[in-house]
Structure 1
């Protein structure tokens, strides 16, 4: 504990070995990616809010998914774009903890929203006659609240526990702050933090297990009839693609955080760090926009009105 220091800021070293020319190229690519994320999510959110035909539980949950995508990217892209053009890559202690909170709560909310959407699809296909009596406005509001508040409470606990640690270093070998990097800087034992983090991971793995179980039932029932098969293809395939997209991104990030070594190329480490906050928010609304005919028609109708 003798080497513990009161830190006011951290150094982010993920870009330290990148040339200026490569940074400028990455700045251009990242700017386009962020603009695309803002555009596709913004269009889908506005379309769902404006078009009364989309005022159904499934589309409210989709809107929640898009809002979460924008929420998560705010923690990374503005700071990352600034760092690409800056010589010093520092972040305040408070800013670092806020990044940890937003990024982790974003990832947890993503899984929670997908679990809620799986429940909605299960009720719609397996209990269609009871759908409207089950998915009432009150229950939809409760499910949306659950998918947003619970992750924030969980990650709030993680951040509070991390803030209590005494740290013996200020260099984070990543593009942004994340909890595992801060635990590595701790002067003392972090067993309690690791146990709590592991419990939260198990809690959200339970969400994944729920999604898988619900889809086993959906597949069994949906493929008994042509109508069920058609409904499954139209509304469940986009959800499965989004789930696959998020799961792969999270696995990459967890594998990198736990088992990433200095022997890995820095460019690969940077990609693994940023993909969880770039790929799902970009692809999720595109997948739903392409697969759901109601969304397609509503988006096209909105654009036609603007042109007219």
Structure 2
């Protein structure tokens, strides 16, 4: 089988190894996290669009993150939930569906970094050049930055997967709970040197760019805050920047953990569990950190919640 071209269109996903006694708890845990992630992110986007006072660049850019999180969670989680109750020998996916899933997963992961870079640019302008903020961060600029964040990754990922689907296949088993580019080109017995080179270049470019931009942005912001004498302004800048920085560090650490675990085949089960948890929990974490840490959004949520009780109070 390994030395012959595998012409069938069916791929077997090894998936998570969950014992029967833990399958139901694992299913409901992942389901609850997924529902929370989708509902909280959709609510966050709806709140921003409903409240004209939140029609500001920072919140509009935040909507990109929430939409991307819903997209990323939906690509992976329903498939994982289905496979929990299936024996490993029956966890099949068509090759076309596998390619689509891999494309969407890489698009989600890459867009997370580019959106965070765009949000860093917004914070940089707001804190380091506040007098020109409204003239720089116009609605047109927000649209341009959002399009850049999505289309850049879209093109890079299209090339990434394009180099993979050109390969013939001689294997049909993916040792992963979901499809990604590395798993797809590992199905081939042809030379995948170009895939490795481009894949490493793509990863280095994306991670390197985000690390450099984040480092320069926050060094510049720190310098401005240290020179400034307005404590209230510095406190507000620290609050918004800390939220953004915490999210970025969490995203970066999640990616690095999975990359490191790839280097230890004996820890494949741990890598699969970490990959699934990152894909499912990151969207929920983003919604919580942004929804509960940003003062303006907390106030709007509290106002909406308590407004439901106001008519009853007036009747008394």
**Partners of 1:173 and 1:202 in 2: how far apart?**
24
1:213 corresponds to = 216
**Partners of 2:23 and 2:303 in 1: how far apart?**
40
SS in 2 for 1:264: helix
Within 5 Å, which residues of 2 pair with 1:56-71?
Answer: 56-71=56-71
Encode CA deviations 1:95-153: one digit per residue, 9 max, x unaligned. Answer: 11011101111010000000000000000000000001111111110000111111111
The number of aligned residues is 304
Q: Could you state the TM-score of these two structures normalised by the residue count of structure 2?
A: 0.92
Could you list the runs of 5+ residues in structure 1 that have no partner in the other structure? none
Encode CA deviations 1:34-66: one digit per residue, 9 max, x unaligned. Answer: 111112212211111111111000001111101
Residue 252 of structure 1 and its aligned partner are, at CA, apart by 1.5
Encode CA deviations 1:246-286: one digit per residue, 9 max, x unaligned. Answer: 111111122233x130x2262x2222221331232111111
- Would the alpha carbon gap of residues 7 and 219 (structure 1) be closer, same or farther in structure 2, given more than 3 Å must change? farther
**Partners of 1:2 and 1:21 in 2: how far apart?**
38
**Partners of 2:252 and 2:25 in 1: how far apart?**
29
**Partners of 1:211 and 1:265 in 2: how far apart?**
31
Could you list the runs of 5+ residues in structure 2 that have no partner in the other structure? 312-316
Q: For the Cα contact (< 8 Å) 1:118–1:211, is it kept in 2?
A: yes
SS in 1 for 2:6: coil
- Would the alpha carbon gap of residues 306 and 189 (structure 1) be closer, same or farther in structure 2, given more than 3 Å must change? farther
1:222 corresponds to = 225
Q: Does 1:46 align with 2:46?
A: yes
Q: For the Cα contact (< 8 Å) 1:249–1:275, is it kept in 2?
A: no
**Partners of 1:7 and 1:122 in 2: how far apart?**
52
Q: For the Cα contact (< 8 Å) 1:221–1:228, is it kept in 2?
A: no
**Partners of 1:8 and 1:264 in 2: how far apart?**
29
Encode CA deviations 1:62-93: one digit per residue, 9 max, x unaligned. Answer: 11101100011111011111111223211110
Q: For the Cα contact (< 8 Å) 1:12–1:176, is it kept in 2?
A: yes
Q: For the Cα contact (< 8 Å) 1:41–1:67, is it kept in 2?
A: yes
1:9 corresponds to = 10
233-242 or 194-203: bigger deviation: 194-203
Q: For the Cα contact (< 8 Å) 1:126–1:221, is it kept in 2?
A: yes
**Partners of 2:149 and 2:223 in 1: how far apart?**
27
Residue 193 of structure 1 and its aligned partner are, at CA, apart by 1.1
Q: For the Cα contact (< 8 Å) 1:43–1:299, is it kept in 2?
A: no
SS in 2 for 1:91: strand
Cα RMSD between the aligned structures? 1.6
